[in-house]
Amino acid sequence: MLNRNRIEQTEAFLRQKFDAAIYLNEHPAAKAYRIEHSYRVANIGREIAKQEGFDETEMVIACLLHDVAYCEEFGENGWVEHGRRSAAIARPFLTELGLAEDRIRDICYGIAIHVDDQADFPGERTPFALSIGDADNIDRFDAYRIHEILMNDGFLGMEYDQKLDYTQKRLSRLRELLDLPMGTKTAENLWRERLSFYIAFYEKLAGQLECSAGVLG
């Protein structure tokens, strides 16, 4: 069961931080995306928590706050550091929320390592902590991202041979990622499900491209 009061307080805190962010307010699409991504990651995290017996409220809170550092202006290493900065921003809020210190430590460690697997304070790579980054990574392979990636990479403007090459490279990379280890069996199953969907899409795209340049012999 979710502690709705704590979830609502976390949502309010996240929105307050994002509402005060100069960059996000100047780029409303980026702000909307970051909020939507945070909710998707929270829902994926909750699914993992349900199956693995973790505290669902704590996982949802952790996932909602995993990118809270986007409220800050990123410097040269801002993206790499945003996990550690998110943990630093989240910690006093989690204390005010009344969570136990050991749970705050687990949540913050998972948030801190979710970008580059490094934290700036000691912690343990528990299945709970690893699941925050797992949920974030799983969300990178949803249906919306297919559209976004193809659009951002300029797929429609490519020459035919470029499209073929692009599609094959994507397939090769996706197949390499298929067996990426996760922190829990539930995350591994979700990951393989998402990656299999992506692979099926790009296989169909490759097949369509092969039929687009002439009559097959």
Q: pLDDT tens-digit profile of 70-109?
A: 999 887 787 899 999 999 999 999 999 999 999 999 999 9
Q: Per the structure, how many domains does the chain have? A: 2
Are residues 59 and 129 located together in one domain of the fold? Answer: yes
Query: Count of alpha carbons within 13 Å of 29, Cβ hemisphere only?
Result: 1
Q: What is the pLDDT of residue 187?
A: 98
In a domain, 194, yes or no: yes
Q: Is the dihedral of CA 154, 157, 161, 163 positive or negative?
A: positive
Q: What is the pLDDT of residue 144?
A: 87
Q: What is the pLDDT of residue 75?
A: 79
Q: Which residue range is the domain that position 83 belongs to?
A: 4-139
Are residues 27 and 63 located together in one domain of the fold? Answer: yes
Q: What is the pLDDT of residue 213?
A: 75
Are residues 204 and 157 located together in one domain of the fold? Answer: yes
Place of tokens 């929270």: 42
DSSP character string of 167-186: HHHHHHHHHHHTT---SSHH
DSSP character string of 50-78: HHHT--HHHHHHHHHTTTGGGGSPP-TTH
For residue 51, the Cα-to-chain-centroid distance in whole angstroms is 19
In a domain, 168, yes or no: yes
Are residues 131 and 53 located together in one domain of the fold? Answer: yes
Which residues does the chain have with pLDDT short of 50? none
Contact in structure between 83 and 66 (CB atoms under 8 Å): yes
In terms of C-beta density within 10 A (0-12 exposed, 13-18 middle, 19 or more buried), how is residue 114 classed?
Answer: buried
Are residues 8 and 76 located together in one domain of the fold? Answer: yes
Cβ density class 147-168: b for 16+ within 10 Å, e for less: eeeeeeeeeeeeeeeebbebbe
In a domain, 8, yes or no: yes
In a domain, 215, yes or no: no
